[in-house]
Amino acid sequence: MKGALMTGAYQARSAIAANQRCVNLYAEQNPADSEFPVTHYPTPGLIRRAVAPLRGFRGLYAASNGELYAVVASKLYTVDVDWTFAERGTLQTESGPVSMRDNSLFLVIVDGSPNGYQLDLSNHAFSQIVGEAFYGSNRVALIDDFLLFNQPGTRQFYASGALAETFDPLDIAAKNGSSDKTVAVEVANRTIWVFGEQTTEVWYNAGASDFAFARYPGTFIEYGCIAPASIAAMDTAVYWLGGGDLGEGLIFRSDQMAALAISTPALSDELRTYPRLDDAIGYTHQADGHLFYVLTFPTADKTWCYDLATKQWHERLWMDDGGKLHRHRGSCFAQWRGRQLVGDWENGNLYEMTLDAFDDDGQERLHLRSWPNTGNEGDLITYDRLIVDMEVGQAGANDPEPQVRLRWSDTRGKTWGTPLSRGLGARGEFKRRVQFNALGTDKGMGRIFEVSWSTKTKTALNGYYLKASGEA
């Protein structure tokens, strides 16, 4: 029997329903005449490009003038093309995500506090924003040269002047469809998304002489946002972690002027077990034609990723020296000079994130895929042979032969057997078969197989061939 791995990560509330994991692998659809319809490839690895003077990246931003800005701890830096850091200013906070945007003249930084900061892009002059009409913000967005902010603790959002760093007390409006507080504003496809704790509204630039923006008539979304830093825009859509009575534990993608839930029931159940959701951090990026939304939960120590091409989820995790899995190293993202960059949440490392890297800054990454073999209507099944179809023979000339591990569960994922190992072939061994024989008999409830490997070489997973016999 030939088996294709068609679905992403899905661990249902009950083990009798579904139990599949997909860690540091994403699926790609193959042409119709391929041997397997889907191949799983490793997610992008990390190459260290620079080390900041301080520890803990809070934000990265590629400005309209071509410069890269980084907030690390309490400092704002520019990062030069030779990967050196130049300090430009000091924030009054040292932790938590920041949001940055520029209007081609000034870069603005907000961090959820009453304070905000601006930097003149022409001369790097840094200052704190002052004025009675600036109230702080969780995030900053840009549309038609206007910078948009939410006023923390209120229903209101406000705007700067066009191509200006000044604020008029009259350039403010309230999210008026519901009384919940506004937590963030984002712009995608020239549409303004005003997120509240419980509900969301869609606005646009109406060109009015007093306050330029107006709400789209008849639009109202019954889902809010629990984590302002989870909001990210890509292509023509906005992604966010839901909030409110109806939206908590759900992840959304905008669909024109509506909200489309993209989280599976299994993922939503998982999220509801986390100690915190309001600290989630999201960003988007593209790799090999796939558009990804990456969502990290710092307190829960987990990172999930949605692939728009396949509409499937996978986990992105970092493995420590003890083999324990943690959230991904990247806490913020920027596309700069043809490179995709992420800043480390713990140290001062600035990484390039690329499919050409097969480890995380020299640290081996775990790749894991599990799948079920359905039961034989309650009868026992004897498993004679399993061949895992993988890319082999790619090890470095002086590297030890990489190993792939197989384990299985006959208790629907509650308990697991001792792993078996097979080699992926030394360099040039392109005919190596990853084959496991005499795998015993299940308990009449089917079996869950799990393959995993951690190697610094190129790999890929197509699917499997299983030879089994039933006992009636």
Q: Looking at the DSSP assignment, which residues form a beta bridge with residue 290?
A: 287
Domain-embedded: residue 362: no
Write the single-letter amino acid at 90: T
Residues 39, 50 within the same domain: no
Considering 304, 327, 354, which residue would you say is the last residue of a domain?
A: 354
Residue 359 lies in a domain: no
CB 360 within 8 A of CB 367: no
Mean of the per-residue pLDDT values of the chain: 93
Q: What is the CATH number of the domain that holds 16?
A: 2.60.120.260
For residue 434, which amino acid is it? Answer: V
Question: Is 20 a member of any domain?
Answer: yes
- Bridge partners of residue 147, in order along the sequence: 142
Our count of domains for the chain comes to 2
Query: Domain boundary residue among 327, 354, 381?
Result: 354
- Report the length, in residues, of the chain: 472
Give me the percent of the chain exceeding a pLDDT of 90. 81
Q: Are the beta carbons of 262 and 278 closer than 8 angstroms? A: no
- As to burial, measured by CB atoms within 10 angstroms (0-12 exposed, 13-18 middle, 19+ buried), residue 383 is buried
For the stretch 183-219, pLDDT in tens is 999 999 999 999 999 999 999 999 887 899 999 998 8
Q: Is the pLDDT of residue 16 over 50?
A: no
Do 89 and 234 reside in the same domain of the chain?
yes
pLDDT higher than threshold 90 for residue 430: no
Choosing from 354, 376, 410, the residue where a domain stops is: 354
Domain that holds residue 413: 2-43+367-471
pTM for this one? Answer: 0.95
At residue 73 the predicted structure's pLDDT band, cuts being 50, 70 and 90, is: very high
Q: Are 446 and 372 in contact (CB under 8 A)?
A: yes
Cα–Cα nearest to 52, from 27, 76, 25, 18: 76
Contact 195, 185 (CB under 8 A): yes
Residue 472 has pLDDT above 60, yes or no: no
Does residue 15 have a pLDDT over 60? no
User: What is the domain-level CATH number for residue 334?
Assistant: 2.130.10.10
Q: Is residue 360 part of a domain?
A: no
Dist. CA 196–CA 194, nearest whole Å: 7
- Per DSSP, what are the bridge partners of residue 255? 258
Say which residues have a Cβ less than 8 Å from residue 377's Cβ, sequence separation at least 6: none
Tell me which residue has tokens 């050196």. Answer: 84
